[in-house]
Every structure is written in structure tokens, then in C-alpha cells.
Structure 1
Amino acid sequence: MILLALKEYYDRKAAEGSIAEDGWIQGGIDFLLEIDRDGYLRNISDLREGEGSKKQARRFMLPNIGKQASKHSNSGEDANLLWDNAKFVFGLGSKGKLHLTSMIAAIDSWIGSMADDGVQAVRSFLQLGSEDREHFDMALNHPEYGEIMQAGQVKISFYVLGTSYKAVFLSPVVATALERMREAEDPNARQGTCLVTGEQNVVLEATHPVIKGVKGAQSSGAGIVSFNTDAFNSYKKTQSFNAPVSKVTTSRYVKALNSLLDSSSRQSLQVGDASVVFWSEDHSTLETDFSLFFNEPSKGDSDTGTEKVRTAFESLHTGAYVEDDGDTRFYILGLAPNAARLSIRLWQTGTVADITSKIKQYFDDFEIVKPPKEPMFYSVWRIMVNASVQDKSENILPNLAGDFMRSILEGTPYPATLLQAIIRRIRSDTEYRVKPVRAAAIKAYLNRYRRFYPNQTYKEVTKELDKNQTSIGYQLGRLFAVLEKIQEESHPGINATIRERLYGAASATPVTVFANLLRLKNHHLAKLTNKGRVVNFERLLGEVIGRITGFPAHLNLQEQGLFAVGYYHQRQDLFSRKNDDEE
């Protein structure tokens, strides 16, 4: 199902002309060597774009004559056709002679007698260099580019002076040669039925190309379909013949996935350790907007990013996505690194209408009263970070992010590990305790859990203070917030309040804390000079305590979550009241 959806995405993008067709690969070229028809270098053209160390190679559709054009073996004999890194083009390193010979052999075997003047000029350039190394001196000793050329990593191709095409690999004879050679049947190729498309008597792929762009995986790439030891073989089938997929389908699904994972793609996002890509059956607005709902806005463009999310969020509520593309199929795939392979962390399909309704529910779940400067929407990254040790992204629990994303898209209860992680973080974060994002996450978890398991001792948690909430934990959280506020106003500038010292005990074992806190509050109230403020506090304390039947010896995890939300709601209400009084 996954490979078929990717192959169909390739077919769609190929029809639009926005993805490399069979025999070609998307890649970057840093420099063009401008040579004359006799093979002598006349100039070097720098194609890189950007500034300083951030310069990026210019993207082209490049001829692909190997299984993985961007990855070389140790043989030194697998050059690309009319383009490659500087090691091959200039014959650098211990295998320099082999590199040059391989470059020439690729031209001879793939184009041969079909070579036009441009291709022949490139062959002459390589041949002259293999006979006399000084032929390459102009490039390797270039005052501006020589050092980077000698490093051997930059990608290089050729422009032949007097020809009509911008790079030699764009010559019509190259396209013709690729098409002719691809059509030539390999007499040793194994044929069979493709498990993805159901086509029969097609040439099968022995080893699938690697997938690049998954964060944390090997830089050279990792595979989805891979059989590299005898233990994985069965019925005398070796390599990827264990899971037969045609060469054409393999090429297409790999190109589709690599294009989605490309650094310039707008159809990917990072969720914990999983690289998530998404696409639709046909073009849809959600395809380009999806990442806005889950990504953190860039720091330098926070206002613009927030405005984009606001617009997309309004589209969720107005039903614009459903009106435009409601019945279109939508796919979400999450890949996590696993040594030389990739593991499928997330796979979700549905219509655009179904997916958008799930996203809307996610936003509604996390809606909560918050301070003015707080972000309007919380990205998945921000939620995960605030549930992690020391609020650091490297401490995000690997499975939590994927499980959380899956629950959003499936509309199922949020993972219990989310509530556990946030409660632990609140207890350990003595400075901030219940941040708005943490309170929102607890509210979201509790309400969705209650939606699926309605026999609960508490009512639905609202986005702001609910004086009639039936949860004992919620009311105790309110009481703790009021007692803290009394202490703060009676001791201005105090270094540590009861929040820093006693929050953990109060939220887990209330009976051990509250009796003493209620005695101390009398001393705090006595220090307040504003008697009207004292009356207001006593009235508020009476209202909250009137809803508490006793102090439990222990609160379970859900009640501890409600304690946090009650504490947060009451704190927000107290500050809003103070602001109203001041106004």
C-alpha cells in the first residue's frame, strides 16, 4: 500500500513535469567547466546560489546510469554520465586513473557512436587529462575555485562552447541513449510478478536504492526494502527477490520518497525522531498547508508564520478544505532511523475531509486561556519539548512523538505516556511548573480520554476557570493557586513560594500538605494592609473550600492532571481579575 501510493504520486508529479523521469535523477551541480570543441578548458562557471558557507548547488535533472547516482562504491569504476564529483572529473586520489577511465567508459558504453560534438569534446577533455595531468591545472590551480576543486566533493559537469544546450548532459543524444539502453533487456535479469502493481513478467529489482533525507539515518541513505543476510532469505530467494518489485516501480517509489524528503520540500516535517512526509492523490491545498498545523514557526518569521497558520486554521473552521478537495485521498508516512534501514513509525490514510476534521479536533482539544504573549497555536514540537527532560528536543521520547501524531490523525485518545511525561515534567520544573502549553496538553488528554471512556468522576474540562468542576483534584489545584497568591501578596519579592517547595506533595498527597497551608494562610492574610483584598481572598477561599469534601491521601494520575489544570485556571483568573481592577 505504501509503495503503491508513492508510485502513484510519482506518476502524478511526472505528468506535471516536476519530478525526474526514469533514467534521470534530481541532483545539484556546483560548477560547469566551459571547454572548447577540442577539449581544452576556457572558463569555470560557478552555479552555486546563496552566500558564504550556505551556498547551494543548482538543481538539474541528471542522467542516472547507476542504481544510486549520488553514492559511489569503493571500486572507483562507477562514474556517472557526463557529470560527477571532482574526484572523478579530475582523476583525484589513489584511484584517480580508474576514475577517469570510468568517466570515459560511461560515455563510450552509453552513447558511443551517437556522440555529438559536445559529448565528444567532453571525452577529449577527459582523455587529454588522463594522458597529461597538467591538462587539469587551470581548474585545480584556479585562484578562486582551485582549493574547493582539489577537495573533490563538489559536483561538476560541462558546457561546450558553441553548443545550444546549457550543459552537455542536456544534449538530445543523452536522452536518446538513456531511453535506448533502458529498453534493452538484460538477458540475466530475473522476471516475475510485481507485488506492488500486480504486473506479470516484468524485470524485478535485485537491490532497492536507498532513501535519503531521514534525520538520524546514515548520510549515504537507508533502505525500506532490504535483505542483506542469508537469515532473511526464504525459498532460495535472495536479496530483494524475497519481496519482488519491478525495476520501474522501484525507481519510481524511491524518486517520489526522496523528493518528499528533500530539504527544499514543503511536504515534510520532523516529529520527534520521525521524518514525516505527506501527499495527496491529486493536488490539494492541504498538501501544502499540512506542515503549518504541526511545525514550529521559524524564529525570524514568527509573525508571518503565525498568520499563515491563522489563515489555515480559519480554513479548517470554514470548511474550505472540504469544499475544495474533500474526497481526495491523503497520505501521511512517518519514517524513523534504524541503522541501515528505516522503520515505519506512522502510516495514515484518509480523505482530505477526514484528515482536516481530525486536525480541527486537535486544535479544539488544545484550546485554553493563556497570557497575551503566548503563541496562538502549539506545534507538535513545542508540546513534545515541554514534556521532555529540561525542555530539550534531544530528550523527546522516541515513541511518544509518533504515538501522539498517530492519535491526532486517527482521532483516538492521546497516549497515556503524554500525560505521564507532562506530570513528571511539572513536578521537576520548580521554576515554571504548569506552563500554558502543559495545561493545554493535560486538558486535551483528559477530554479526549473522557470522550472515549465517559464513566468518569469529573466533567469535561473547559478552556478557562470552571467553578463547578466536580473533580476533587481540580478544586484542590484552585485552592493551592489561591494560597500561593496570598503568600505572594503578603511577602512581595519572596524568593521561593509554596509552588517551588510544596507543589509536588500537594498534587500527589494532599492530606500531608493542605492542613498546614491553611493554618499558614491566616498569618499571610494578617500581613495584608488592604483589608478589601483580605475580604476578597476570604470570600474566594470559602467558595473553593465549599466544593472540597476532604483532603485525599493520594490522587491518581488523572486527578493530578486535573490539579494542574485547576491550578493553572485559577492563576489565570486571579491575574485577569487583578488587571481588571487596575484598569
Structure 2
Amino acid sequence: MERQNDPETTSMFTFLSDPDPVAVRRILSSPFKRAENHGSLDRICILALSNKARMVVRDYEEPPVWKVKNQIRQFFDAQQIVGAPKPASIYSLAACMYHDGRKEMQKEDVQDWMNWAIYGKRLSGRIIAKMVKRIQARGGMAWIHAAAIKSWLISQKKEEWTVDLDQARVTPAYLCGRLFAVLEAVPYEAVKGNETTASRFYAAASSTPRTIFGLLMRNSKWHLSKISKENKGYEVRYQQRIQLLTGQLKEFPAVLDLQGQAEFALGYYHERQDIYKKKENMPADAANVSDLNKTVVEGE
């Protein structure tokens, strides 16, 4: 049977390279549908080619239209994160793992994200390893990194992760990330310096928490005392957050694996957004609503 072009189906793949926010919101708000009437087009032909010395067919699939549509819906739903100015494309998610995505990005990176977006295949451990390395080198994270990490976590266990701060999640890694965000905010509030705690200690805190959190907790006491002299309300608020989080943590983990480092990063981002969402005088990059291309390509 001759296959006809379906404008709606064809446009689905445009979403992955240059997603329109209005169209994405429409996809996310539409109900899950297994059976849909697409006339003569009930399946999509997906052909992946490589073009070096000669054209080679790398992959060929004919998935049902309804399945691809619902997987694309999941792709955008998984990446939703507080502070995101717009939906992220496959290229943006792959590029944010590097300082300069245009020069460093590999074809396997795009392939991994494409397989997740269209087929729902689990994102590889290579993706999160590169993401963690990039965030540690950067000494912090932007919204695109949080969107990518949340997508990776959901792809691993099909586990639900919230768009913003999850008070009910009490895993040690997530709590450590939240606490680190508070311990970063305290010295900034006290001295209004340009260098943040994250730029100096993020790598150690996210991989070997037990080695660094004792020092950060001790340093915070001096800064809290200074804040108290200028704004008692802020000092009380930070003290309450620290006490809440340390009370939920039985002990600081000695080592966090890649899964734990991903949870740490999301906890850090969620808490940071929650702290600064109502503050006008926030650290640079706290809201992370800078231009997408500058964030994911230049990386700084």
C-alpha cells in the first residue's frame, strides 16, 4: 500500500530538532491514545543513514504512529524542569554535555537521545557520566543540565521525578544536593562574593560527600552569624533549612555512584531554584534563564 504524507506525523520530528513551545504544551496536555485514525498511514518509516565514503543504512524501523507520538510526549514530559525557558531539542540535550558542543559532540550522543525520544530506549550510562563530568568542571549547572539529568533518571527506572522541589524525596543523594545548595547560598548571602561554594567544592561534594560536608557545615556557622546581624529573618530561614535536611540525613554517604550523582545534581538544582525564586538579588546563573545557545554551546 502506498504510504501518504501525514502533516501532523511529519511535524512530530520537527519538534525534536526545533520544538515549538506552544505545540509541545499541546502534546503534553493531550490524553494518551493507543488507537488513532491516521487513514492509510498507521506506521512511520524511520531510516537512519551514515554518509562517509558511501551511504550505509544504520537503522530501519516501522513503529506504529500512536507509539511514536506517545513516546515523543514522554520525551518532552521527562525534561520539564523549573526555570526552563523553553523545551529542549535533541541537539541541545546532547550538546550540553560539553564545553563546546559544536566541536566536541559525538554522533553517539545524538543517537542516544534520538533513541530515547522516538523509541523510549534507556539513555546509556555514558550520557550521565559525561553530564556529571561537565557539571563538575563547570562548578554548577544550568536548567538544560537539570532537564537532561531528569530525563536520564526517568529513562532508567521509569520513576516519577517532580518538575520542582520534591519535599517527599529523602534519598541521601538528593538530600545532599539540597543541603549543598543551602550551604552555597549562606556564604553568598553573607559576603555577596562572585566565587560560589559550588565552583570550589561541587565536584567533591557530589562524588564523596563525607569528605567535604563537615568543612562546609563549620564554615556556614560564621556566615550565618554575619547574616544574623544584617537580616535575622534570612538567618532563621537558612538555619531551619539546614536543620531539616541534616535531620533527614542519617549520615553523609562516603561515595556516590553515577545514579547518586545524578540525584545529587537534581536535588541541588531544585533547592537552589526554590531558595532564589522570590529573591531579586540572586547569584549569577541561579535562575539559569540565559540564552539557550550560549548556555549549551559555550557552556559558561
Is TM-score (shorter-chain normalized) higher than 0.5? Answer: yes
Q: C-alpha separation between the residues in 1 aligned to 2:204 and 2:43? A: 50
- Contact between 2:48 and 2:60, CA under 8 Å: does it hold in 1? yes
CA deviations 1:211-244 (Å, max 9, x no partner) are xxxxxxxxxxxxxxxxxxxxxxxxxxxxxxxxxx
1:444 aligned to 2:151? yes
The offset of 1:324, in angstroms, is 4.8
Could you say which structure has the larger radius of gyration? Answer: 1
How far off its partner does 1:320 sit? 10
Q: Note if 1:410 corresponds to 2:109.
A: no
- Asked if the contact 1:472–1:548 (Cα under 8 Å) also holds between the matched residues in 2, the reply is yes
Change (3 A) 1:316 1:571: closer
Match of 1:293 in 2: 15
- Distance of aligned partners of 1:387 and 1:542 in 2 relative to their CA distance in 1, 3 Å threshold: same
Q: Is the CA contact 1:316–1:356 (under 8 Å) kept in the aligned structure 2? A: no
Match of residue 397 from structure 1: 106
Q: Given the superposition, is the C-alpha separation of residues 481 and 337 from structure 1 closer, same or farther in structure 2, using an over 3 Å criterion?
A: same
**Preserved CA contact (<8 Å) 2:12 2:69:** no
Tell me the secondary structure at the aligned position of residue 546 of structure 1.
helix
Distance 2:88 2:67 in 1: 21
Query: Aligned to 2:238, which of 525, 532, 537?
Result: 537
Instruction: Tell me which amino acid in the other structure corresponds to 2:108.
Output: N
Matches within 5 A, 1:46-445: 281-296=3-18, 306=20, 309-311=21-23, 313-315=25-27, 317-318=29-30, 323-325=36-38, 328-338=42-52, 340-370=53-83, 374-375=85-86, 377-388=87-98, 390-430=99-139, 433-445=140-152
2:274 counterpart (544, 550, 573):
573
Letter in 1 for 2:71: K
Are positions 1:558 and 2:259 aligned together?
A: yes
* Match in the other structure for 1:518: 217
CA offset at residue 319 of structure 1?
5.7
TM-score where L is the length of structure 2: 0.85
Q: Deviation at 1:286?
A: 3.0
The question of whether the paired residues in 2 share the 8 Å contact of 1:400 and 1:415 is answered with: no
| Closer, same or farther: CA 315–558 of 1 in aligned 2, 3 Å | closer
1:313 and 1:536 map into 2 onto residues whose CA distance is: 35
Residues 1:502 and 2:201 are matched in the alignment: yes
Question: Any stretches of 5+ residues in structure 1 without a counterpart?
Answer: 1-7, 13-280, 298-305, 452-458
Give 1:174's aligned residue. Answer: none
Once the 2 structures are TM-superposed, how far is the Cα of residue 497 of structure 1 from its aligned partner?
1.5
Aligned partner of 1:284: which letter? D
Kindly indicate which of the two structures has a greater share of residues assigned to helix: 2
CA displacement at 1:288 relative to structure 2? 3.2
- SS of equivalent to 1:412: coil
Runs of 4+ in 1 over 6 A off after TM superposition: none
Counterpart CA distance in 2 for 1:526 and 1:294 is 49
Q: So what's the TM-score if we normalise by structure 1?
A: 0.45
CA change 1:333–1:365 in 2 (3 A) is same
How many equivalent residue pairs?
276
The one-letter amino acid of 2:121's match is: T
